[in-house]
A and B are shown apart, each in its own frame.
Chain A
Amino acid sequence: MSRLQACLAALATGNKKALTTFITAGDPSAEATVPALHRLVRSGADILELGVPFSDPEAEGPAIQASSERGLANGITLRSCLDMVRAFRSDDAVTPVVLMGYLNSVLAMGYGNFASAAASAGVDGLIMVNLPPEEAVAFKQALLPHELDLIFLIAPTTTDERTRMIVSEGSGFLYYVALKGITGADHLDVGPVAERVREIKSTTALPVLVGFGIKDAQAARSIADHADGVVIGSLLVRTMAEFDDEAARLDRLGEQVSEFRRALDAG
């Protein structure tokens, strides 16, 4: 069983919700990322999403766009993201790490090269924002021998028929996009999300995590009542950029994640 599957299975057994955190690699500096990943884990994160900076992040809101630009300005490449995961792995062999980014980064390295490099660095899964299942056949084949999960997104606009197709193609977990919009947008409505997640869960054994637009512990708690976990992104990305002092940055990051953890663990 892969690290990601083991983690999600253990959470389900313990009746706990998966807290997934997103930060962008190399933001605000190349050195900031690995210590931040460890702090996220210590403060209660179950799964780490690491954003791969891309020049044209079409689905991101202003916070993550800016973090991507900072990462690029710091010279971060897909290979340096893999180096960060390898460095993180030397002190943490259990926490799953999922890379999130855009297909062109992987295409430039080549699917096969990427799959073996990512597996050897200790990556567990991939979220490619602009890669729907129809276009993903060759990439999935390249990932298969390395036990890397390709995680697909389901949106509020996804039809039932298409949801069934995505569910059958997905692995690791399913990522439900809570709103029509870009990351960090501002109009999350729990009711429809809950209904949709229930529908998806009735068709699959894969865990369903919900992200995009979850801004506080309260919202996370309400969403988690209906899902297997939540993804917190823009909020943490803003914190990463807010502090020049590393200790202050990590403390604030820790506080925020702990608060989400407490909310998710509360009755």
Chain B
Amino acid sequence: MDGANRYDQPVAGHFGEHGGRFVAETLTRALEELAELYDRLSVDPEFQAEFQADLKHYVGRPTPLYFAEQLSNSLGGAKIYLKREDLNHTGAHKVNNTVGQALIARRMGKPRVIAETGAGQHGVATATVAARLGLECQVYMGAEDIKRQSLNVYRMKLLGAEVIPVTSGSRTLKDAMNEAMRDWVTNVDNTHYIIGTVAGPDPYPRMVRDFQSVIGKETRTQCLEQIGRLPDVLVACVGGGSNAIGLFHAFINDADVRLVGVEAAGRGLDTGEHAAPLNAGRVGVLHGNRTYLMQDDDGQIVETHSISAGLDYPGVGPEHSYLKDIHRAEYDAVTDDEAMAAFRLLNRSEGILPALESSHAIAWVAKKAKELGPELVVVINLSGRGDKDILTVAEIDGIEI
């Protein structure tokens, strides 16, 4: 494909042909500074100790690895373990990253942070750490998402953040990210942009991955403690892909551990109404990185659909695109209906209310448990709790709360 698919210059921040730093020139210096600082901090024992202490005492880590015996029995197949990221402070894995990035903002002496948010979990996690460190915080959120995630919007306001509705484009997560980039271009001197997933320009994909990799590190240790061996299959939902990379990363070199990312098939991959770029997209450039994208023949980014606002994104982190290309991880997709059924299943079988995002991972396992068989150990990343989704589910059930 005349070089379009080739990797220009192998510099840090590229994952095969994916990743890179495709940004307006004004932002380049800020990204260089961030990368330089992060390269230092990632090997700085003092910073790492500070980060680990916050994860333990503020976030509440380690999170349990829970054997979901009832769920396993009801599905009649693999032994299913849940990595309980829903038990983190603020209710999702997102806070692992925002705690790390807030420490970085403080090191840089930047008094203001901004974030984009889809479901509102990353916005809440950002507003939370900003409140704690006394940073001014503004969160960009698509006007559509504000409607479907009103609880999280109010939570952010209670935390002292300003939620700015984004009315351009499709009024969802991707447009919130555009608007956050525009803010950052304008206020780059005093502002740190806390990107919530493993996408965006370098160094974000690797920095956010590193902060989230605590999930997989703990899972590895817990598996060895609880079952005396590594798991056979790891399953996580993939929107931008931060909880999945967080779980996978510590196992990348364990070739026998199967890595499965589950995208949102929405109303079905064949309907076009989904958010599954790894399953049905093409490589392109958006939000500072080259990766698989949902786009039309003219390269316009198309509107996505998922019942879960957190997966409703047309791109995916570049490292996932790379893991797909080299066949280290596999990426499947489940529909809105399958995710909803899994949401109900986990409530009834285990008394756990999962986020609709995480329900996609559960749905994949529900479909495959028998086929995998009773000898296999499967770990699902239960990336967040579902309180925020209750209104959405009630509406589907025709109940007004």
Structural contact, A108 and B284, CB atoms closer than 8 A? yes
Q: How large is the interface on A (under 10, 10 to 19, 20 to 34, 35 or more residues)?
A: 35 or more
Give the Cβ gap from A128 to chain B, nearest Cβ, in Å: 9
How would residues 1 to 36 of chain B score, 1 for a CB under 8 Å from any chain A CB and 0 otherwise? Answer: 111101011010000000011111111111000000
Residue of B nearest to A57 (CB): B178
Give the Cβ gap from B7 to chain A, nearest Cβ, in Å: 9
Structural contact, B169 and A137, CB atoms closer than 8 A? no
Structural contact, A56 and B174, CB atoms closer than 8 A? yes
Tell whether B186 is near chain A: CB-to-CB under 8 Å.
yes
Give the Cβ gap from A209 to chain B, nearest Cβ, in Å: 14
- CB-defined contacts of B4 to chain A, threshold 8 Å: 107, 110-111, 138
Give the Cβ gap from A79 to chain B, nearest Cβ, in Å: 8
Taken together as a complex, chains A and B put the C-alpha atoms of A166 and B11 apart, in Å, by 17
With contacts A55-B169, A131-B22, A135-B8 taken as known, whether A181 is within 8 angstroms of B186 at the C-beta atoms is yes
Structural contact, A157 and B2, CB atoms closer than 8 A? no
Give the Cβ gap from B57 to chain A, nearest Cβ, in Å: 37
Give the Cβ gap from A102 to chain B, nearest Cβ, in Å: 8
Taken together as a complex, chains A and B put the C-alpha atoms of A223 and B288 apart, in Å, by 31
Which chain B residues in 265-298 approach chain A with CB under 8 Å? 282-288, 293, 295, 297-298
Structural contact, A104 and B286, CB atoms closer than 8 A? yes
With contacts A56-B169, A135-B21, A180-B185 taken as known, whether A109 is within 8 angstroms of B299 at the C-beta atoms is yes
Structural contact, A111 and B29, CB atoms closer than 8 A? no
Structural contact, A134 and B24, CB atoms closer than 8 A? no
Taken together as a complex, chains A and B put the C-alpha atoms of A58 and B200 apart, in Å, by 12
Taken together as a complex, chains A and B put the C-alpha atoms of A57 and B299 apart, in Å, by 13
Taken together as a complex, chains A and B put the C-alpha atoms of A77 and B21 apart, in Å, by 25
A-B pairs, 6 with minimum CB distance: A108-B299, A112-B2, A138-B3, A155-B26, A181-B186, A157-B29
Q: Which B residues are within 8 Å of any A CB, using their own CB?
A: 1-4, 6, 8-9, 11, 20-30, 168-169, 174-175, 178, 181-182, 185-189, 282-288, 293, 295, 297-302
Q: Which A residues are within 8 Å of any B CB, using their own CB?
A: 54-61, 65, 69, 72, 77-79, 102-113, 129-132, 134-139, 141-142, 152-159, 162, 166, 177, 180-182, 185
For the complex with contacts A77-B298, A130-B24, A157-B29, 17 further pairs of A-B residues with Cβ separation under 8 Å are A56-B175, A59-B182, A65-B168, A72-B300, A78-B298, A103-B22, A104-B284, A104-B295, A108-B284, A110-B1, A112-B3, A132-B22, A132-B28, A166-B25, A180-B185, A180-B188, A180-B189
